[in-house]
Amino acid sequence: MFLSRAWGYKLPRWIARFYLAYLAIPIVLLVVGSVGELWLNTLLPTGFTLAWYMQVAADPSFRRAFTASLAVAAIACAACVLAGLPLAYAIFRARSKVVRSLARVVYQLPVALPPLVLAFGFILVFSSDTLPWLGSIWLLAAGHVVLGLPYFLQTVVADMQRLGLRTLEDAAESLGSSGIQRFVHVVLPSLRHSILSGLVIVAALSLGEFQFSNLVAGFLNRTYPVVLLQAFYGATGFACAATVVLLLLALAAAIAGGAVSGSASRLRGVAA
């Protein structure tokens, strides 16, 4: 053993600290830069101002991109629930094990698919005269659904299995409830936590997605990350402030997700 016992304990801690610092420094610098008046060739900017934020807020293309991003995320989330829930249910209820594992492979495929490839596909299909929808906000959302659905399905199907949803439904049926009643009284409410946390992932993915959106978004419907790229050609403070806004959005999604799964584990804690 070439490390002393004390080092054996200390080393992992130091690695953890360095890694945290490595994660935090760019974010801290972004925040600092966003409120600095002037940042030229010094390590840290000088002066304090909130002007950059006001400028971002006042910029029409940023305002439009912010709303477009929220709209795309909302549409993607709605579509994930509408398409994802029945899909998850079908995968969960599939009788044959082969079908279930095949379905799993198929719905996980987009995870391995570079968004760039998806974007080229979309451009090929939707720039035609038959389907001239390239540049619409709906098409953007449709792409984000493809990218986010695997995570949504994974979360919901796993929860269905863990809950023993099938037996819950059998129980409800034996107690006299109809198909619609089972769905409204039992399926939806018992899955509400996994549906919500699946949606948080979809929303976070959609809000931060750049590769696909940059190629597919039309000029009028560019999403926030796409517009953000332009900011880097301008003043540093403005770019920092615009990035921090995106960061706050991502943070909000993460906190929402944490709160949801936290309350879920409290509810189920004792049963485990």
Partner 1 sequence: MTTAVDVEGLSFRYPGTQAGVHDATLSIAPGELVVCIGPSGCGKTTLLRLIAGFLVPDRGTIRLDGRDVSALPTRARECGVVFQSYALFPHMRVWENVAYPLRVRGVAPEERRRRALAMLDQVGLAGFADRLPAQLSGGQQQRVALGRALVFSPHALLLDEPLSALDAATRTTMRDEIRRIQREHGIASLLITHDQDEALSLADRIVVMRDGHIVQDAPPQTIYDAPADAFVANFVGRANLVDGVVTGPAAVDTSLGALVTREHALPAGAPLRLLIRPERIEIVDGTQGENALAARVLRDRFFGAARRVEVGVGQGRLEIETNARDTVQCIRIPRDAIQFLNDASNS
Report residue 226 as tokens: 């796409």
Q: Which residue number, 252 or 264, has a Cβ lying nearer to partner 1?
A: 264
Least spacing, CB of residue 93 vs partner 1, in Å: 13
Q: Which residue number, 41 or 174, has a Cβ lying nearer to partner 1?
A: 174
Q: Is 3 exposed, middle or buried (0-12, 13-18, 19+ CB in 10 A)?
A: exposed
Least spacing, CB of residue 102 vs partner 1, in Å: 18
Q: Which residue number, 125 or 175, has a Cβ lying nearer to partner 1?
A: 175
Q: What angle do CA 243, 249, 254 make, to 5 degrees?
A: 125
Q: How far is CA 193 from CA 53, 94, 264, in A?
A: 35, 23, 6
Least spacing, CB of residue 168 vs partner 1, in Å: 5
Least spacing, CB of residue 262 vs partner 1, in Å: 15
Q: Which residue number, 61 or 181, has a Cβ lying nearer to partner 1?
A: 181
CB atoms within 10 A of CB 186: 19
Least spacing, CB of residue 184 vs partner 1, in Å: 11
Whether the Cβ atoms of residue 240 and residue 186 lie closer than 8 Å to each other? no
Total binding residues toward partner 1, as defined by CB under 8 A: 24
DSSP 269: G
Least spacing, CB of residue 172 vs partner 1, in Å: 7
Q: Which residue number, 197 or 223, has a Cβ lying nearer to partner 1?
A: 197
Q: What character string, x for contact with partner 1 (CB under 8 A) and - otherwise, covers 155-194?
A: --------xx--xx-xxxxxxxxx--x---xx--xx-x--
Report residue 81 as tokens: 């629930």
Q: Is residue 94 a contact residue for partner 1 (CB under 8 A)? A: no
CA separation for the pair 258, 11 (Å, rounded): 30
Q: What is the identity of the amino acid at 114?
A: P
Least spacing, CB of residue 81 vs partner 1, in Å: 18
CA separation for the pair 217, 20 (Å, rounded): 35
Q: Which residues pair with 38 in a beta bridge?
A: 46
Q: Which stretch binds partner 1 (CB under 8 A): 37-45, 244-252, 253-261, 264-272?
A: 264-272
CA separation for the pair 45, 238 (Å, rounded): 13
Whether the Cβ atoms of residue 120 and residue 58 lie closer than 8 Å to each other? no
Q: Which stretch binds partner 1 (CB under 8 A): 5-13, 41-49, 122-130, 262-270?
A: 262-270
Q: Which residue number, 1 or 270, has a Cβ lying nearer to partner 1?
A: 270
Helix H or strand E encompassing 209: none
Q: Which residue number, 47 or 189, has a Cβ lying nearer to partner 1?
A: 189
Least spacing, CB of residue 200 vs partner 1, in Å: 19
Q: Which residue number, 130 or 167, has a Cβ lying nearer to partner 1?
A: 167
Whether the Cβ atoms of residue 112 and residue 96 lie closer than 8 Å to each other? no
Q: What is the identity of the amino acid at 194?
A: S
Site of interaction with partner 1 (CB under 8 A): 163-164, 167-168, 170-178, 181, 185-186, 189-190, 192, 267-271
